[in-house]
């Protein structure tokens, strides 16, 4: 971290960037937003915005499970993040399995799982009025990122980039034409599950900094904005990542001066980008 701190002091010699928590938050934004920009392109393509939203809401139950396990096994010192990760992966797999049964539409299935998870989490966490200490997860706090958190984010960032380079073409073909993908030997179900699990892990890891209420917006809006103006798949990805990064940096700086939640400020800026690109799309016809 010393090298990063020195680099920031050299490149950004501003008073507001002299604090360690701002330097940590800056690196966190630079690691999180490109991932969201990349994943968002596939989420928008596959019309999975509601699914990503349900993953955010299910985090409440993951926290609740961690509380229960922590009370039952106090010596283990179980952190909420691990129970959130486990529960998000399980509910992702459950949604996909039930969806394959074709007994109801996808949005109905997601709605049932999402509302049930939220209700269960709230019931457990509000028991005896204990919800206040978990309310920070609702709005998130980028300024609370620690060096150990950044290490985890760095590892996740590298893994996502490597996976994306390796499987993107297959993911894209599977999302556009499943029959053609199968004829090319692509196991569509495997890649569908893999992408959903990756999304669940990213959402869960990031939720403590971005916030349950808005994490889906940060995934969807940069990609939706990019789609308004992109002419090909390369531009689609580049614009989405750039919009996510610019919004992240601007939101971090503005939230410091305004004293607002960083995640929410970032989302407002991405919404501005969407409005601007939508206007450009209308103008260009």
How far apart CA 270 and CA 256 sit, in angstroms, is 17
pLDDT at residue 242, rounded to an integer: 96
Is 21:220 a contact under the CB 8 Å cutoff? no
> Which of 53-67, 139-153, 219-233 is least confident?
53-67
pLDDT at residue 101, rounded to an integer: 73
CA 115-188-35 angle, 5° bins: 65
How far apart CA 98 and CA 88 sit, in angstroms, is 15
Q: What share of the chain is helix, strand, coil (3-state, %, to 5)?
A: 85, 0, 15
DSSP result, 107-155: HHHHHHHHHHHHHHHHHHHTGGG--GGGTHHHH--GGG--HHHHHHHHH
Alpha helices in 177-232 (DSSP H): 178-183, 188-210, 215-229
Task: Read off the pLDDT of residues 86-119 as tens digits, 9 standing for 90 and up.
Answer: 888 888 888 888 877 777 677 788 888 888 888 8
How far apart CA 235 and CA 30 sit, in angstroms, is 20
Rg over alpha carbons for the chain, rounded to the nearest Å, is: 19
pLDDT (average), residues 244-271: 92
pLDDT at residue 228, rounded to an integer: 93
Which of 42, 1, 32, 48 has the alpha carbon at shortest distance from 208?
Answer: 32
Which of 215, 266, 220 has the alpha carbon at shortest distance from 49?
Answer: 220
Task: Read off the pLDDT of residues 6-32 as tens digits, 9 standing for 90 and up.
Answer: 888 888 888 888 889 999 999 999 999
**Torsion, CA 100, CA 102, CA 108, CA 109, rounded to 10:** -30
Task: Read off the pLDDT of residues 127-176 as tens digits, 9 standing for 90 and up.
Answer: 766 667 777 777 888 888 888 889 988 998 999 889 888 888 888 888 77
How far apart CA 111 and CA 25 sit, in angstroms, is 33
Is 247:230 a contact under the CB 8 Å cutoff? no
- Which range, 161-165, 208-212, 267-271, is most confident? 267-271
Who's near 222: CB < 8 A, 6+ residues apart?
A: 33, 36, 37, 40, 240, 241, 243, 244, 247, 270, 273
């Amino acid at each position: 971290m010393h090298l990063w701190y020195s680099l920031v002091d050299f490149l950004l010699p501003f008073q507001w960037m002299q604090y360690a928590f701002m330097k940590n938050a800056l690196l966190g934004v630079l690691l999180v937003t490109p991932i969201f920009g990349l994943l968002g392109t596939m989420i928008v393509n596959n019309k999975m915005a509601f699914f990503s939203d349900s993953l955010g809401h299910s985090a409440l139950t993951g926290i609740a499970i961690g509380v229960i396990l922590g009370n039952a096994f106090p010596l283990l010192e179980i952190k909420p993040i691990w129970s959130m990760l486990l529960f998000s992966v399980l509910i992702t797999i459950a949604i996909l399995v039930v969806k394959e049964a074709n007994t109801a539409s996808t949005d109905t299935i997601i709605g049932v799982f999402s509302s049930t998870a939220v209700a269960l989490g709230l019931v457990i966490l509000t028991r005896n009025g204990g919800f206040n200490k978990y309310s920070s997860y609702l709005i998130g706090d980028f300024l609370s990122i620690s060096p150990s958190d950044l290490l985890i984010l760095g590892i996740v960032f590298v893994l996502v980039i490597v996976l994306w380079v390796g499987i993107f073409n297959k993911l894209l073909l599977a999302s556009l034409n499943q029959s053609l993908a199968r004829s090319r030997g692509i196991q569509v179900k495997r890649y569908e599950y893999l992408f959903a699990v990756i999304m669940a892990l990213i959402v869960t890891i990031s939720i403590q900094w971005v916030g349950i209420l808005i994490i889906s917006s940060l995934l969807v809006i940069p990609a939706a904005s990019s789609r308004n103006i992109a002419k090909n798949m390369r531009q689609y990805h580049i614009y989405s990542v750039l919009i996510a990064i610019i919004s992240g940096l601007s939101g971090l700086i503005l939230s410091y001066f305004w004293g607002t939640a960083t995640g929410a400020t970032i989302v407002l800026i991405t919404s501005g980008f969407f409005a601007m690109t939508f206007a450009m799309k209308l103008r260009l016809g």
